[in-house]
């Protein structure tokens, strides 16, 4: 159609049947038509969604994990292979499929007798891929004891027991790592306060609870964090995803699912379990890091690299202000509060080091020091409820 119209216009021009003004109009139409057709045929180039990214810390690999996920084999909305593909897109190192043992709303549509089925399908999907899938299950009971996840299990079917205490014991016999899910969930704790019951205390005494979710999906619990500290429990944070990660957490908008960072000796299932058992974890949630100072401070300090220091120039020459360039090699936009002996020249005492960016900080050292230290409280990190970690950066002065 377009070629026929162009031929008719050309013939009219040759026969001098149109005047100059009409010719200009037709040429404009032709140009716009060609442009629109080319635009329609040119694919839209979109920036790929970035992986979740944090550096390793001295002595350990920083592994990004989500240990609480559901599929159609309980009350989730996706096939297990989707959980694997989502995790690969997010750059995760390990996931666990933790379908509810007792909640099976899809059993008439997807009949199955093996509670390990979601895990089995996911393990086939990871062949040739650099990701680990850990067998797990969510034991779903009223409060107490509430919901718990048992991961690194051998057979989920053997956890279908009536006695809630015996379920924990069977999971432990299978070598499971057991953690308490969403302890502040208002469906079971209407006041939103995570609370230890006598049953939980007995389970703790018997070594049948190893960790606790300080973060579950979009919820954070100060009380759970304090329990982790008081009872030497592993700090956990997971998505508890039922639908699609992209729909519920909007990574295309720069947001992210909550994850557990495990500081492991290597990338393997055995090393992840060892890291969890020794409480070497942190939680990444809504641009906030949560964990013990022992591992959180090295993670933040490793993320921040001092690239260079320069003397700030003015039109009258060199000043006494030193400009320090700090590179942030992590996904966190670190929000810092200056606690140094020096005031800043281009910031108030509150500043942000953007993720994966180089940020200049102008420091009023009052004299050209050969070296000095900068100290900051990290306001979007917590090493205990309401307590921020303090980091120190050693700066080589400008020469």
Calpha distance 274→268 (Å, rounded): 10
pLDDT in tens, 364-382: 999 889 999 999 999 999 9
Mean pLDDT of 296-319: 89
Calpha distance 110→104 (Å, rounded): 10
Confidence at residue 313, expressed as pLDDT on a 0 to 100 scale: 80
Q: Where are the beta strands (DSSP E) in the chain?
A: 61-69, 94-97, 132-140, 147-151, 177-180, 211-216, 219-220, 234-238, 259-264, 281-285, 288-291, 304-314, 317-328, 334-338, 343-344, 350-353, 358-364, 371-378, 381-382, 390-396
For tokens 């080319």, the residue is: 38
Structural contact between residues 361 and 351, judged by C-beta atoms closer than 8 angstroms = yes
Q: In the chain, what percentage of residues exceed pLDDT 90?
A: 79
Confidence at residue 319, expressed as pLDDT on a 0 to 100 scale: 86
- Phi, psi angles (nearest 5°) of residue 221: -125, 110
Any idea which of 128-132, 180-184, 309-313, 316-320 has the lowest mean pLDDT?
316-320
Confidence at residue 46, expressed as pLDDT on a 0 to 100 scale: 36
Confidence at residue 24, expressed as pLDDT on a 0 to 100 scale: 54
Mean pLDDT of 193-210: 96
The answer, yes or no, to whether residue 277 has pLDDT greater than 70, is: yes
pLDDT in tens, 110-130: 988 899 999 999 999 999 899
Confidence at residue 397, expressed as pLDDT on a 0 to 100 scale: 84
Confidence at residue 398, expressed as pLDDT on a 0 to 100 scale: 82
Q: What tokens were used for 96?
A: 């666990």
Calpha distance 157→139 (Å, rounded): 11
How confident is the prediction for the chain on average, in pLDDT?
89
Residue 155: partners with Cβ closer than 8 Å, 6 or more residues away: 116, 174
For tokens 């996904």, the residue is: 331
The answer, yes or no, to whether residue 318 has pLDDT greater than 90, is: no
Confidence at residue 25, expressed as pLDDT on a 0 to 100 scale: 52
Rounded to 5°, the CA angle 234-236-238 comes to 160
Any idea which of 73-77, 187-191, 309-313, 330-334 has the lowest mean pLDDT?
309-313
Of 22-26, 108-112, 181-185, 394-398, highest mean pLDDT: 181-185
Structural contact between residues 137 and 103, judged by C-beta atoms closer than 8 angstroms = no
Mean pLDDT of 30-59: 60
Confidence at residue 82, expressed as pLDDT on a 0 to 100 scale: 97
Confidence at residue 31, expressed as pLDDT on a 0 to 100 scale: 52
Calpha distance 138→96 (Å, rounded): 11
For tokens 């599929």, the residue is: 71
Cα R_g (the chain), whole angstroms: 29
- From 290, 258, 263, select the one nearest 379 (Cα to Cα): 290
Structural contact between residues 178 and 149, judged by C-beta atoms closer than 8 angstroms = yes
Which carries the bigger pLDDT value, residue 226 or residue 1? 226
């Amino acid at each position: 159609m377009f070629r026929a119209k162009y031929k008719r216009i050309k013939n009219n021009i040759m026969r001098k049947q149109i005047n100059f003004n009409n010719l200009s109009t037709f040429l404009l139409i032709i140009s716009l038509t060609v442009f629109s057709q080319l635009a329609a045929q040119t694919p839209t180039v979109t920036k790929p969604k970035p992986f979740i990214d944090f550096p390793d810390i001295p002595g350990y690999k920083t592994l990004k994990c989500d240990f609480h996920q559901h599929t159609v084999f309980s009350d989730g909305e996706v096939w297990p292979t989707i959980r694997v593909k989502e995790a690969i897109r997010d750059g995760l190192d390990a996931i666990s499929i933790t379908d509810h043992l007792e909640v099976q709303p899809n059993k008439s549509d997807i009949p199955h007798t093996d509670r390990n089925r979601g895990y089995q399908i996911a393990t086939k999907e990871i062949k040739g891929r650099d990701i680990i899938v850990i067998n797990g299950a969510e034991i779903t009971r009223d409060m107490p004891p509430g919901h718990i996840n048992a991961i690194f299990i051998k057979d989920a079917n053997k956890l279908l027991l009536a006695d809630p205490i015996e379920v924990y014991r069977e999971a432990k016999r299978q070598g499971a790592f057991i953690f308490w899910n969403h302890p502040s969930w208002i469906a079971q704790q209407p006041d939103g306060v995570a609370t230890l019951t006598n049953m939980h205390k007995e389970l703790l005494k018997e070594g049948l609870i190893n960790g606790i979710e300080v973060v579950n999906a979009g919820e954070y619990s100060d009380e759970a964090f304090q329990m982790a500290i008081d009872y030497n429990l592993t700090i956990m944070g997971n998505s508890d995803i039922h639908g699609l990660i992209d729909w519920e957490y909007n990574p295309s908008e720069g947001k992210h699912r909550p994850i557990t960072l495990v500081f492991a000796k290597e990338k393997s299932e055995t090393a992840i379990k060892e890291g969890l058992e020794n409480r070497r974890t942190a939680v990444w949630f809504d641009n906030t890091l949560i964990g013990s100072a022992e591992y959180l401070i090295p993670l933040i300090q490793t993320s921040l690299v001092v690239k260079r220091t320069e003397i700030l120039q003015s039109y009258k020459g060199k000043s006494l202000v030193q400009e320090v360039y700090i590179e942030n090699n992590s996904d966190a936009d670190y929000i810092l509060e200056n606690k140094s002996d020096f005031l800043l020249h281009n910031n108030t005492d509150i500043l942000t080091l953007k993720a994966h960016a180089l940020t200049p900080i102008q420091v009023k050292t009052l004299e050209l020091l050969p070296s000095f230290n900068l100290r900051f409280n990290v306001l979007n990190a917590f090493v205990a409820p309401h307590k921020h970690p303090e980091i120190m950066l050693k700066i080589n002065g400008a020469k």
